[in-house]
Structure 1
Amino acid sequence: MEDYYLFSSGELERKDNTVRLTRSDGKYKDLKIEVTRDIYLFGEVSTNTKCLNYLAQMKIPVHFFNYYGFYTGSFYPKEQNVSGTLLIQQVQAYTDPKRRLYYAKKFVLGAAKNLLRNLKYYQRRGRNLDDSIKEITSLIRQIDQVHDVEELMGVEGTIHRRYYASWQSVFIPDVDFSKRVRRPPDNMVNTLISFLNGLMYTTCLSEIYVTQLNPTISYLHSPMDRRFSLCLDISEIFKPMIVDRLIFSLINKNMISEEDFNKESNYCYLSEKSKRIIVSEYDKYMKQKVR
């Protein structure tokens, strides 16, 4: 199966038994719809219900990103693999404080072990990360001792703050990054994190779609209206191994630099060139086999 990342602006429409993106200059691209898994739209694209109905029939999610490259939402076809029994079990696990905490701890522990693995990887390559590794290892031991999800989120936040503070030792070039800033991202690294986290979120959403799980019922992040919070839970595990490693690789191999970003006041966002580079590398990462 194949993912399509479309950067051109134009009109997305059904053309016989395929989907076509037609640009304003008349040039077009036909998608191999029978092997399409997801469609990612980064340009200004218009479509119609005929096209969306066809995509829903083919069970293909469409993910939308704004001008700045940040994820704004998804077209999520009607679920085919529904299970009332599993839905009840998901809800029961959430409403039982002990069970919810059990699953939430597993998400945090999985994420913490993976980010610690990243630091140990660079420690073996001569980076001065001893103090960060010791502190995070100590914090990981606290995960099993917490009594509720709120307390667990506090430990998770401390782990991530210490983790991000150590990134300066991972980067080879001189990079401006000391802490995580989300809204809005204020420098190259924070922008990379926000952009790639959005991609990781959509990847998790697409994986959940082919299961019988309900993406709105979560355990670490509180379920809320207008978001698939289970994707946030699951993506926590994979972000260190995919998002963070990709950021380290992009910067340390000089594939991305400050010149590839646009800055306005305290706001930093991706150029089209940088989006294409990042998405291409992300796609390669997702196609790698884990051994």
Structure 2
Amino acid sequence: MKQSLYIYNNGDLKRKDNTLQFTTYEGDKRDIPIERISDIYILSEMSFNTAFINYISQYGIPLHFFNYYNFYTGSYYPKESLLAGQLLVKQVEHYTCYDERLVIAKEFIKAAADNIYRNLRYYNSRGKDVAECMKEVNSLRKKLDHTEFIEELMGIEGNIRKNYYKAWNTIVNQEIQFEKRVMHPPDNMINSLISFVNSLIYAKTLSEIYHTQLDPTISYLHEQGFRRYSLCLDVSEVFKPLIGDRLIFSLLNKNQITEKSFTKELNFLHLKKEASRLIVTEFEKRMKQTIMHKELGKKVSYQYLIRLEAYKLIKHLIGEKEYEGFRIWW
């Protein structure tokens, strides 16, 4: 089974014969069979050449980059081998027709809102009093069906998340004093944690979309100019509550991540290497976690759920089946 490769140490990546070789700046070498790699995450300073890029491109391996602060900075996306002209036309048509675009964008947000509500209900049933936040979120999600503009849709989504984040102070056992989402740059431990985990989900979504016929630059909820692979932002919204938020709650409530995991002098912007490794390890465990799929009748991993979401979108675009966003059912 192929796995994601995360590299934390500075060094050099190159092709050596029919495999990859990573060499640290101290001279330590490690050979990595390319057949075992699904995608590569660089969380350090790295040198490589065109021979390396050409080699991973042959195997369709995306390369994702994160800077010193663990902020996602970009991806190398190999030439698509599965793109289909007819589907590309359908993707564009569903974007240029505002009504068609709104249908898809609305379903992304409705699914995300339902998953947020499911998280709140889960913790409320376990002694965390978030009933008031549940009430507000439920009231807001009922308005989604009546929206006529994407800006209006995103405004409601913003208010849903605002109420959702209010509940985090109750859900999390640590004293986090989390009031609002701040991204550029994050202003506290929680915002830094959310940014890092969400960027992992975004990169993982890009890797999964690569294995479908979808063009990741054509989106419906987020504008194309916001980020290059904006369809990944659309799809990620659906999975943040299940994969990202639940991971964060677990890490904090088990005290695996605390203020000591960050460099306080940098306003908690910098996540220490040991903490970053821990988060990635737990993230990968979660991506490999399986559930019995109620329609397929077999176990699928959380990671494969993302690819299934892309397949559902394809069916909608070609008129085979109306898209229904993923919702937590267990």
The TM-score with structure 1 as length reference comes to 0.98
| Distance of 2:262 and 2:221 partners within structure 1 | 33
Amino acid at match of 2:213: Q
SS at match of 1:73: strand
| Residue in 1 that maps onto 2:113 | 112
- Cα gap change, 1:264/1:184 in structure 2, threshold over 3 Å: closer, same or farther? farther
- Cα gap change, 1:138/1:226 in structure 2, threshold over 3 Å: closer, same or farther? closer
Structure 1 unaligned regions, length at least 5: none
Structure 2 unaligned regions, length at least 5: 293-330
| Distance of 2:48 and 2:265 partners within structure 1 | 31
Q: CA deviation at 1:227?
A: 1.2
| Residue in 1 that maps onto 2:68 | 67
How is 1:37-116 mapped onto 2 (pairs within 5 angstroms)?
37-116=38-117
* 1:61-114 Cα distance to aligned partner (Å, 9 max, x none): 111110111111111100000111000000100111111000001000110011
Q: CA deviation at 1:226?
A: 5.3
| Distance of 2:226 and 2:70 partners within structure 1 | 23
Amino acid at match of 1:253: K
Q: CA deviation at 1:225?
A: 7.1
Q: Is the 8 A contact 2:68 2:270 kept in 1?
A: no
1:219 and 2:220 matched: yes
1:290 and 2:291 matched: yes
Q: CA deviation at 1:188?
A: 1.1
* 1:256-286 Cα distance to aligned partner (Å, 9 max, x none): 1100101345452201111001000001000
Q: Is the 8 A contact 2:13 2:48 kept in 1?
A: yes
SS at match of 1:79: coil
| Distance of 1:174 and 1:264 partners within structure 2 | 19
Amino acid at match of 2:141: I
| Residue in 1 that maps onto 2:152 | 151
SS at match of 2:263: strand
| Residue in 2 that maps onto 1:128 | 129
* 1:11-37 Cα distance to aligned partner (Å, 9 max, x none): 000011111110011112222211210
Amino acid at match of 1:260: S
- Cα gap change, 1:234/1:107 in structure 2, threshold over 3 Å: closer, same or farther? same
| Residue in 2 that maps onto 1:178 | 179
| Distance of 1:280 and 1:28 partners within structure 2 | 22
| Distance of 1:273 and 1:288 partners within structure 2 | 23
* 1:19-63 Cα distance to aligned partner (Å, 9 max, x none): 111001111222221121001111111100000000001111111
- Cα gap change, 1:37/1:97 in structure 2, threshold over 3 Å: closer, same or farther? same
Amino acid at match of 1:23: T
Amino acid at match of 1:53: N
Number of aligned positions between the proteins: 291
RMSD over aligned Cα atoms: 1.1
Identity %: 51
SS at match of 2:101: helix
Amino acid at match of 1:2: Q
Q: Is the 8 A contact 1:184 1:266 kept in 2?
A: no
| Distance of 2:232 and 2:273 partners within structure 1 | 26
| Distance of 2:226 and 2:272 partners within structure 1 | 32
| Distance of 1:221 and 1:143 partners within structure 2 | 16
Q: CA deviation at 1:176?
A: 2.7
| Distance of 2:196 and 2:33 partners within structure 1 | 26
* 1:189-241 Cα distance to aligned partner (Å, 9 max, x none): 11110001110000110111010101011011011275100000000000010
| Residue in 2 that maps onto 1:22 | 23
Q: Please, which moves more after superposition, 138-147 or 220-229?
A: 220-229
SS at match of 2:291: coil
| Distance of 1:287 and 1:74 partners within structure 2 | 22
